[in-house]
Amino acid sequence: MNHKKHICIIVDCLCGGGAEKVAASFSFSLEKAGYRVSIISLWNKINYNYTGKLYNLGKNEPRIKWYKQLKKTLLFRKYYKQINADYYVDFRMRNRFLMELILHLFVFKIKKMVMSVQHYNIAYHIPKGRFFKDEYSRAKAIIGVSKDVKRALIEYHSFKNVKYLPNFVNRSLLEISKSPLLDIPSNSILAIGRLKNSVKQFDKLILSYKNTRSCVDGVPLIILGDGPDKSKLEDLIEIHDLQGKVKLLGFVSNPFDYITHCKFLVLCSKFEGMPLVILESLALGTPVVSFNCKSGPSELIQHKVNGLLVKNQDFKELELSIDLLVADKDLYNKLKKSTINSIEEFTGEKVIKSWETIFNY
């Protein structure tokens, strides 16, 4: 088969997070558009479906830390050269200074690198220092996944090679089971994300939910995800006697059954990038209640059209918005009717064309 170009996707893993799911979905869009696809994964955590040839650096890792890092770096260098892609799109967290320095000095060909910045907190993706500012300035492109991320990249680093390319959803990958979910009521409120309170604020969500009329009336709150604060959330639920109302169901690689089954999705993060979970929810016809945090929700949610956009970090308003969407059936039905068509420009078919302008420039 004659391919347009060879694109290699670089990820920390293919499990757990939104950026990793975006990368996995990206592999299908690239292949459909006629590109040859390879993937380099640093960790042996592979749960998401993907396509292309996978180079898994996390298999058979040594136990000795320094030897593990050395072996992984040498293997990374070997595979990078062996793949010899036209371009490498890097979705990783890149905030470890020494690791990134080694990769830039001994592995990467910077002119072939496309650096995806998935968070409004851009320090997650760009290490400090003049060296990295110069390196990123020479990359093929730096991708801001929201308009605010793009703006921050230009404002704080004065990069000239920044492109706005939003995260997107592949509708063909949203697999829905034919078997109904019997373990949770269909009027449930849903939240999805890594259980890290400093970012996702599930602890504050639980306390806000406790103050709602919806909680008093027995409308359940379902939380999907895993992470370092799981035990803290379990303790919080027990302390406030919410065991029968708040359910922590762990990480679910295919959350789409829950999204379609529950009444609406709620997001109360401190910051985001371009939240894939909002895109997936709207693509499946489920309205969203979200803080207008930096960044992404305001690009996806039209207030009282396909969801409710809540003043950033105003948990009292969040409580009122949850109760409003539970109680007001006319408003809920209006929002639900507008969800699917509202994200047309954030589909793989649309966004991949913008990616092609970078690969072909």
* The two three-digit tokens of residue 215, written as one number: 């909680």
> Looking at this protein, which amino acid is placed at residue 216?
V
Question: 152-175: buried (b, 16+ CB within 10 Å) or exposed (e) per residue?
Answer: bbeeebebebbbbbbbbbbeebbe
- Give the residue, 32 or 60, on which the prediction is more confident: 32
Report the half-sphere exposure of 199 (CA within 13 A, side-chain side): 18
Q: Among residues 234, 125, 235, 257, which one has the least CA distance to residue 188?
A: 257
Beta strands in the chain (DSSP E): 6-11, 36-41, 53-56, 87-90, 113-117, 141-144, 162-164, 189-192, 221-224, 246-248, 264-267, 288-291, 307-310
At 16 the pLDDT is 81
Read off the pLDDT of residues 131-187 as tens digits, 9 standing for 90 and up.
Answer: 999 999 999 999 999 999 999 999 999 999 999 999 999 988 887 766 666 678 999
Q: Does the pLDDT of residue 61 top 90, yes or no?
A: no
At 6 the pLDDT is 97
At 181 the pLDDT is 67
| Mean pLDDT in residue range 242-263 | 92
Which DSSP symbol is given to 108?
-
**Dihedral sign, Cα of residue 271, residue 209, residue 256, residue 281:** negative
The answer to whether the beta carbons of residues 292 and 317 sit under 8 Å apart is no
Report the half-sphere exposure of 293 (CA within 13 A, side-chain side): 24
Tell me the pLDDT band of 361, cut-offs 50, 70 and 90. Answer: confident
| Mean pLDDT in residue range 57-84 | 91
Task: Provide the whole-model pTM.
Answer: 0.92
| Mean pLDDT in residue range 300-326 | 98
Read off the pLDDT of residues 73-124 as tens digits, 9 standing for 90 and up.
Answer: 999 999 999 999 999 999 999 999 999 999 999 999 999 999 999 999 999 9
- State the average pLDDT for the chain: 94
At 93 the pLDDT is 95
Q: Please give the helix or strand (H or E) that residue 216 lies within, else none.
A: helix 213-216
Tell me the pLDDT band of 66, cut-offs 50, 70 and 90. Answer: confident
| Mean pLDDT in residue range 335-359 | 93
Q: Does the pLDDT of residue 221 top 90, yes or no?
A: yes
Read off the pLDDT of residues 34-43 as tens digits, 9 standing for 90 and up.
Answer: 999 999 999 9
Q: Does the pLDDT of residue 292 top 70, yes or no?
A: yes
* The two three-digit tokens of residue 236, written as one number: 């919080």
DSSP sequence for 146-194: SHHHHHHHHHHH--SSEEE----B-GGG----SSPP-SS-TT-EEEES-
Tell me the pLDDT band of 2, cut-offs 50, 70 and 90. Answer: low
Tell me the pLDDT band of 1, cut-offs 50, 70 and 90. Answer: low
DSSP sequence for 45-57: -B-S---SEEEET
Read off the pLDDT of residues 174-220 as tens digits, 9 standing for 90 and up.
Answer: 877 666 666 789 999 999 999 999 999 999 999 999 999 999 999 99
Q: Please give the helix or strand (H or E) that residue 136 lies within, else none.
A: helix 130-137
* The two three-digit tokens of residue 255, written as one number: 């959350």
Tell me the pLDDT band of 310, cut-offs 50, 70 and 90. Answer: very high
Cis peptide before 295 (omega within 30 of 0): yes
At 63 the pLDDT is 84
- Give the residue, 175 or 352, on which the prediction is more confident: 352
> Looking at this protein, which amino acid is placed at residue 77?
R
At 182 the pLDDT is 62
> Cα–chain-centroid distance for residue 185?
26
> Looking at this protein, which amino acid is placed at residue 179?
S
The answer to whether the beta carbons of residues 116 and 88 sit under 8 Å apart is no
